[in-house]
Amino acid sequence: MPPIDTPAVPPDPTAAAGGRRPRRGKVTHFLGQNVGLVLALVMLVAAIVLYCAVYWAETQSLPGNFELTSTVNNTMPLVLAAIGQSFVVLTRGLDLSIGGTMDLANALAAVHIHDSPGSMVLWSVIVLAIGAGLGLVNGLLVGVGRLQPILATLATLSIYQGIAIKVLPQPGGSIPPVYTSVLVNPFQPYALLYVLLVALVWYAFRRSRIGVAIFAIGNDEQSARANGIDTVRARVTSFTLSGLFAGAAGLFLAATATAGDATTGNGFTLTSIVACVLGGMNLFGGRGSGIGVIAGAFVTTMIVNILFFSNIDPLYQSFYEGLFLVVAVVLSTAIGRFLRRSR
């Protein structure tokens, strides 16, 4: 009987490595699992380098303590708003009422916080509770009322903005200097401690039971329900957390401006979504990192700084900002898909 030809078998790369997978495969696997976070950090580093280069070209010096402090202080409201938005994005939803919640928190802080420890602590707690309550309303409309998140929060956005204007019809009020120094010290970047605190809160949330439930319903709601997860409770909790963080963002916004304005929070609804996307948060739910969202918030602020020191005409800054964001999102999405396929 003639010998049977057997096809050549390619060498096993794991055999050459003593039965272990090559190191490159582990790195690729890590990148595939954390591509959003890695790309967000890369974009942040690139934005910082570009900002320093533009700043040097304009002033012949590098940014100092003042620039660092102002950047951190100006980004803190967006960091909190974006983290709040991320809780809802994980459940495949969007919270369009974040700007309205920030408006109301801002207005209440400017009107009621006075220069006494009791007033500052009491009204800070009240504002945070109100923010959580407004988020709870959104959660009940979506989780119990079965309304679409976009429609429900778009309606409550108008309601919250109307209440904010009722509280503070015209820009005004005042924030005590002590309160401003505690939240956003204008002389030192102490607000970085709050960034670290937010990161620690996210770390605890990600490993908590409610965090696992929120991630689960974002990945597959039917499977999560079949495994005994209370999907309604998880969705309501995600909106409540969003309102709580939006209320905190409103407090930081008031402290930064040292006064109140019932309309200044409006722009944070869109930028919070942008920060989530730049931070690698999947808009289809179930995937994302709070650390990446924080990095995305700083990237968003750095873009504005870069355009300012590039002497771009203010009339065209919105155009270039939008163009940069589109390019960044497209590139990050394409690179992420490539890395996941190559795992």
The pLDDT tens digits along the chain (343 residues) read 455 444 455 555 555 455 555 555 665 555 656 677 888 888 899 999 999 999 998 888 889 899 999 999 999 999 999 999 999 999 999 999 999 999 999 999 999 998 888 889 999 999 999 999 999 999 999 999 999 999 999 999 999 999 999 999 998 888 999 999 999 998 999 999 999 999 999 999 999 999 999 999 988 888 888 888 899 999 999 999 999 999 999 999 999 988 888 988 888 998 999 899 888 888 887 788 899 999 999 999 998 888 888 888 777 777 877 787 777 777 766 776 676 666 5
Burial of 196 (0-12, 13-18, 19+ CB in 10 A): exposed
Query: Amino acid letter at 217?
Result: I
Q: What is the pTM for the complete model shown?
A: 0.87
What residue spans of the chain are helical by DSSP H? 13-16, 23-33, 35-59, 65-89, 98-112, 117-139, 149-167, 177-184, 192-206, 209-219, 221-226, 231-257, 268-278, 290-309, 314-341
DSSP letter string, 156-191: HHHHHHHHHHHH-SSSB----HHHHHHHH-SSS-TT
How remote is the C-alpha of 75 from its chain's centroid? Answer: 11
Looking at residue 280, the DSSP 8-state letter turns out to be T
Query: Amino acid letter at 80?
Result: L
Q: Which domains does the chain have, with CATH numbers?
A: 31-336 (1.10.3470)
- What the block records as the tokens of 215 is 């991630």
